[in-house]
């Protein structure tokens, strides 16, 4: 695995690979890799001649009081995992390389970012789209892979790529879960043991919503109420939002269709967890 830290060197290396006709698959991450990230890398390995991974804890997507300073990091372990899944290029930019003095340009997607996580985390998606746009410009991949757990983020990046005519295929990959159903996340390490148990209310509520849908319930308000009641049975849980939206536009829906996605953001203790399920699809028992 080749490790590159300088922007111009990464650009040059990827340009040279493209000239040679190599197909580049890219997975952008903030590190502290888990099986969810590794599943993206394995799929990227299948889809590209060259597999590129970036690790960069992006400061401009964290708001005041969020966990940037304490965000989990373990670069040595990340490198070992990246090698094990066949990563060819590891991009490790420094903050000053991506945001040099005088940096004044940001990318913002309207319409998809103001609600849901955007309401709770003002400026978050502007930080995400700005850094992803920069990484796309540096690496110029043929395909970029993202997890569907961050459902709103995936929708925003797809819209950015489409609106800005980026010649990149943006792929969303299935959520990877722990054996008990909790969606894998780097932030799961923040959960105390009892909070970890209570966090299972998220997957329980998704399963409940799916059962109601299969039974014929089509009223979004009924499903949302049932989901909220399940989550709030846990003393450590505090709901940020529970919404049923159209999976492409993220607009709220009153009735369930095949395009409906249930989106959750829940604090368990001080840890904010997100999860989702497209209600027209199967879910594990």
Active site residues per annotation: 37
- Within 13 A of 210's CA, how many CA atoms are on the CB side? 16
**Dihedral class, residue 65 (left if φ above 0, else alpha if ψ from -120 to 50, else beta):** left
| Residue 23: C-alpha distances to residues 14, 86, 206 (Å) | 10, 15, 37
> Do 151 and 263 form a contact (C-beta atoms < 8 A)?
yes
Give dist(CA 178, CA 168) in Å, integer. 30
Report how far apart the first and last C-alpha atoms of the chain are (Å, whole number): 39
SS3 call for 177: strand
Q: 237 phi and psi, to 5 degrees?
A: -90, 140
Strands (E), the chain: 2-4, 24-29, 50-55, 89-91, 143-147, 169-173, 237-246, 260-268, 271-278
Torsion of CA 67, 43, 172, 189, to 10 degrees: -20
Beta strand pairing status for 24-29 and 143-147? parallel
> Do 186 and 72 form a contact (C-beta atoms < 8 A)?
yes
Planar angle of CA 264, 268, 271, nearest 5 degrees: 90
């Amino acid at each position: 695995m080749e490790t590159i830290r300088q922007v111009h060197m990464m650009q040059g290396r990827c340009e040279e690979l493209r000239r040679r006709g190599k197909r580049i698959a890219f997975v952008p991450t903030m590190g502290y890799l888990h099986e969810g990230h590794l599943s993206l890398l394995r799929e990227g390995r299948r889809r590209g001649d060259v597999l590129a991974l970036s690790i960069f804890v992006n400061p401009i997507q964290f708001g005041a009081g969020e966990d940037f300073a304490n965000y989990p990091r373990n670069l040595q372990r990340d490198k070992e995992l990246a090698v094990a899944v066949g990563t060819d290029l590891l991009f490790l930019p420094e903050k000053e390389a991506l945001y040099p003095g005088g940096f004044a340009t940001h990318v913002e997607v309207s319409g998809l970012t103001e609600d849901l996580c955007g309401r709770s985390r003002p400026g978050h998606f502007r930080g995400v789209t700005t850094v992803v746009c920069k990484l796309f410009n540096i690496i110029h991949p043929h395909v970029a892979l993202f997890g569907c757990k961050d459902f709103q983020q995936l929708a925003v990046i797809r819209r950015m790529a489409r609106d800005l005519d980026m010649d990149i295929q943006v792929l969303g990959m299935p959520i990877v879960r722990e054996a008990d159903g909790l969606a894998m996340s780097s932030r799961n390490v923040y959960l105390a043991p009892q909070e970890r148990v209570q966090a299972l209310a998220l997957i329980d509520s998704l399963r409940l919503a799916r059962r109601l849908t299969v039974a014929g319930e089509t009223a979004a308000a009924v499903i949302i109420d049932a989901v909220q009641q399940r989550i709030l049975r846990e003393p450590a849980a505090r709901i940020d939002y529970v919404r049923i939206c159209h999976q492409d536009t993220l607009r709220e829906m009153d009735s369930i269709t095949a395009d409906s996605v249930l989106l959750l953001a829940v604090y368990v203790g001080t840890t904010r967890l997100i999860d989702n399920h497209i209600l027209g699809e199967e879910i594990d028992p």
